[in-house]
C-alpha cells in the first residue's frame, strides 16, 4: 500500500502503546513519536476506513514534556519507544493507561490509586535477548533488537537500558560472533545478569569448532563473564566457559531470601523494581502465620518465598515442571520447605474443582503472563479466598479478569497502581488488591 501524503494533526492523548492520538477528517490517527498537546506533520503507513497509523515527521509545536532521546539508536531500534517523553510524564501516562483500561474494558474504578513504584530509568534491564544476523550488504554482522515495525535487526553498538558494563561489551561481543566459524548459525544471544555474574547464552545451530571454543574461552576470561551454549530448546543450555563457576541468583534482602535461576528461566528483568514490587505485594497480601496462601503462576518462587518467610504456608502452582522444581529447590535452600509446596498445573484450564483441590485458602496471589488469568477468575467458587493480590503485565487482561472478579464473584477493587518495570517503553506493569465485599 502506498503511503498517504503528509498531513497535519493536533495530538489529544497517548494510547496504550505510547502513540499520540489525534482525529483527522473523521478518522482516529495513532502517531508514533507524537505527544499530547503537540501539533505535528505525520505520514500514515497504515490506513483503514476508520483509523490510520502513522509517524511524526516534523514537530510544529513541541510539548513541554518532550526531551531529546539520549539513545543514538532511537527511531530505528524497536525498543524504548517513549524516550522522547520525560520520565515523570511516562509514569503519569502509564497510570492513565491502567485506569482507562479498568474503566473502559471492565467498568471498574479502584477505591485507591497507589503511588507508582519507581526506580532508575536507564541501566535497569538484567535480561535481554539480542538477535544476530549476518548481512553483508549492511556491513557484515548485525547484533541488536529488531527495527521498528520490521523483522530486520537494528545495528547496535550500545544499549543504555542494559547495565553499563553489559552495554559497553556489545561491540566486543559482536566481534566475537563475527570471528566464529559459522556466525550466520548463531541466531541469538540471551543475556542474564545476576548478582555479580553475567551469563551470555549463544544459541548455535551447528556445533562449535575447536577454534570457536578457544575464542569463547578467551572472551569469557577477558570479560569476566560466563559463556553458555544452547544447541536446541532452553533446557539444552549448558555452561561452556569457565568450566566451573557459581550459578546465577538474585536476592530479596528485605525478606532474607535468595533465588537461584538458570539463564533461560523466566525472571523479572528489573531487579530493583522487583524488590519494591515485592514490598508492595507483601504489604497488600499481609501473610500471617497459620494462613494458607496460593501463589498462582509462581515461577521459581519469586513471591512464594517471601510469603513463606513471613510465616504463612504457601501453595505454589506453575505450568512449567522445570520451574516447579526450581521453586522447591529455592524453598529448601532458604530453609522454607516446611512452609511451602509446589505443583505443576495448567492454570489456563483451571476449574472450580482444581482450585478447591488446593484446600482451604485464606488469600491468593496471581502473577500471570500477558494472557492473564481469566480461567482462574471464573473458577473461583464459594470457597474462594477473601483477599487476592493480582500482579499484571497487561492492563487489558487485568481489566477483563477484574470484571469477572467484581461483577461475577463479588470482589471489590480496593486499590491499584503501576510499577515502572520497563522505563522508556510503553509496557505497563501493575498491582491490584481485591477483597470480598
- Of residues 30, 35, 26, the one with CA closest to residue 45: 30
Question: Is the pLDDT confidence value at 260 over 50?
Answer: yes
Q: Take residue 241 and report the three cell numbers written for it.
A: 566457559
Alpha-carbon gap, residue 233 to 14, rounded angstroms: 39
Sign of the CA dihedral with 270 first, then 274, 275, and 276 last: positive
252: which residues sit within 8 A by CB, 6+ positions away?
Answer: 258, 259, 274, 275, 278, 305, 306
Q: Which of 198, 257, 384, 393 is catalytic?
A: 393
The C-alpha cell at 11 is 495530538
Annotation-wise, does 2 bind a ligand?
no
268 marked among binding-site residues: yes
Is 393 annotated as catalytic?
yes
Residue 139 confidence class, pLDDT cut points 50, 70, 90: confident
71 is an annotated ligand-binding site residue: yes
Q: Could you list the beta-strand ranges (E) of 288-386.
A: 292-296, 313-318, 340-344, 363-366
Average pLDDT of the segment spanning 135-148: 90
Average model confidence (pLDDT) for the chain? 96
Amino acid 338: pLDDT: 98
Here the cell at position 434 is: 481485591
What digits encode the pLDDT tens for the residues 13-31?
Answer: 999 999 999 999 999 999 9
Predicted pLDDT of residue 1: 42
pLDDT of 208 higher than 70: yes
Buried residues in 421-430 as b, exposed as e (16+ CB within 10 A):
bbbbbbbbbb
Which pLDDT score, from 0 to 100, does residue 109 have?
Answer: 97
Stated as kind and residue range, the H or E segment containing 208 is none
Per-residue pLDDT at 149: 86
- CB count within 10 Å of CB 328 equals 20
Q: Which residues, listed in sequence order, are joined to residue 292 by a DSSP beta bridge?
A: 313
Give me the sheet containing 429-436, strands edge to edge: 112-113, 411-419, 429-436, 387-392, 363-366, 292-296, 313-318, 340-344
298 is in an annotated binding site: no
pLDDT digits (tens, 9 = 90+) for 75-119: 899 899 999 999 999 999 999 999 999 999 999 999 999 999 999
Q: How confident is the model at residue 405 (pLDDT cuts 50, 70, 90)?
A: very high
Q: What value does the CA radius of gyration of the chain take, rounded to a whole number of Å?
A: 23
User: How many contiguous H segments (helices) and E segments (strands) does the chain have?
Assistant: 10, 22
Question: Rounded to whole angstroms, how far apart are CA atoms 201 and 204?
Answer: 9
pLDDT at 138: 83
Residue 59: per-residue pLDDT:
97
Confidence of residue 173 (pLDDT cuts 50, 70, 90): very high
- Residue 4 has a pLDDT of 60
Calpha distance 83→89 (Å, rounded): 10
- State yes or no: 165 annotated in a binding site: no
Q: Has residue 3 got a pLDDT over 60?
A: no
Each residue's pLDDT tens digit, 410-419: 999 999 999 9
Cβ–Cβ contacts within 10 Å for residue 8, how many? 12
Backbone angles phi, psi at 299, to 5 degrees: 55, -135
Q: Mean pLDDT across the stretch 315-341?
A: 97
Give the pTM.
0.94
Q: Is 173 exposed, middle or buried (0-12, 13-18, 19+ CB in 10 A)?
A: buried
The answer to whether 80 is annotated as binding is: yes
pLDDT value at 273 more than 90: yes
State how far the Cα of 42 lies from the Cα of 38, in Å rounded to an integer: 12
Res. 128: pLDDT tops 50: yes
> What grid cell was written down for 237?
543450555
Cβ(435)–Cβ(386) below 8 Å: yes
**Domains delineated in the chain:** 7-66 (2.40.50.140), 93-120+270-436 (3.40.50.150), 127-193+198-245 (2.40.50.1070)
Higher pLDDT, 20 or 3: 20
Residue for grid cell 522445570? 322
Beta strands (DSSP E) in 112-255 are 112-113, 127-135, 140-144, 188-193, 198-203, 226-230, 238-241, 248-252
Q: What's the grid cell of residue 357?
A: 483441590
Amino acid at each position: 500500500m502506498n503511503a498517504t501524503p503528509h498531513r497535519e494533526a493536533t495530538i489529544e492523548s497517548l494510547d496504550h502503546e505510547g502513540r499520540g492520538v489525534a482525529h483527522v477528517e473523521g478518522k482516529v490517527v495513532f502517531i508514533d513519536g507524537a505527544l499530547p498537546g503537540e501539533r505535528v506533520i505525520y505520514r500514515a503507513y497504515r490506513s483503514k476506513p476508520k483509523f490510520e497509523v502513522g509517524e511524526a515527521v516534523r514537530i510544529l509545536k513541541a510539548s513541554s514534556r518532550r526531551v531529546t532521546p539520549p539513545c543514538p539508536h532511537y527511531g530505528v531500534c524497536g525498543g524504548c519507544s517513549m524516550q522522547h517523553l520525560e520520565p515523570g510524564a511516562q509514569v503519569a501516562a502509564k497510570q492513565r493507561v491502567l485506569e482507562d483500561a479498568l474503566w473502559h474494558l471492565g467498568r471498574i474504578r479502584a477505591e485507591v490509586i497507589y503511588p507508582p513504584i519507581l526506580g532508575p530509568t536507564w541501566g535497569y534491564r538484567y535480561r535481554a535477548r539480542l538477535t544476530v544476523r549476518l548481512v553483508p550488504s549492511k556491513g557484515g554482522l548485525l547484533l541488536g533488537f529488531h527495527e521498528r515495525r520490521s523483522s530486520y535487526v537494528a545495528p547496535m553498538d550500545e544499549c543504555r537500558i542494559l547495565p553499563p558494563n553489559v552495554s559497553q561489551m556489545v561491540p566486543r561481543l559482536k566481534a566475537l560472533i563475527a570471528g566464529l566459524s559459522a556466525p550466520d548459525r548463531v541466531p541469538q544471544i540471551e543475556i542474564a545478569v545476576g548478582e555479580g555474574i553475567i551469563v551470555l547464552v549463544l544459541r548455535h545451530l551447528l556445533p562449535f569448532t575447536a577454534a570457536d571454543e578457544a575464542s569463547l574461552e578467551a572472551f569469557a576470561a577477558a570479560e569476566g563473564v560466563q559463556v553458555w551454549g544452547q544447541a536446541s530448546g532452553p533446557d539444552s543450555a549448558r555452561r561452556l566457559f569457565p568450566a566451573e563457576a557459581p550459578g546465577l541468583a538474585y536476592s530479596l534482602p528485605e525478606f532474607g531470601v535468595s533465588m537461584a535461576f538458570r539463564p533461560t528461566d523466566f525472571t523479572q528483568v528489573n531487579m530493583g523494581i522487583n524488590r519494591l514490587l515485592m514490598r508492595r505485594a507483601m504489604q497488600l497480601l499481609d501473610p500471617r502465620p497459620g494462613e494458607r496462601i496460593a501463589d498462582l503462576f509462581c515461577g521459581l518462587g519469586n513471591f512464594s518465598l517471601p510469603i513463606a518467610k513471613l510465616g504463612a504456608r504457601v501453595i505454589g502452582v506453575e505450568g512449567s515442571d522445570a520451574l516447579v522444581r526450581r521453586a522447591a529447590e529455592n524453598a529448601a535452600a532458604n530453609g522454607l520447605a516446611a512452609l511451602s509446596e509446589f505443583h505443576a498445573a495448567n492454570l489456563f484450564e483451571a476449574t472450580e474443582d482444581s482450585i478447591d483441590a488446593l484446600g482451604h485458602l485464606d488469600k491468593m496471589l496471581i502473577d500471570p503472563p500477558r494472557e492473564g488469568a481469566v480461567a482462574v477468575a471464573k473458577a473461583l467458587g464459594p470457597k474462594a479466598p477473601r483477599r487476592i493480590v493480582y500482579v499484571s503485565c497487561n492492563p487489558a487482561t487485568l481489566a477483563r479478569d477484574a470484571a469477572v472478579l467484581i461483577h461475577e464473584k463479588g470482589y471489590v477493587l480496593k486499590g491499584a497502581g503501576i510499577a515502572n518495570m520497563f522505563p522508556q517503553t510503553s509496557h505497563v506493569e501493575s498491582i491490584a488488591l481485591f477483597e470480598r465485599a
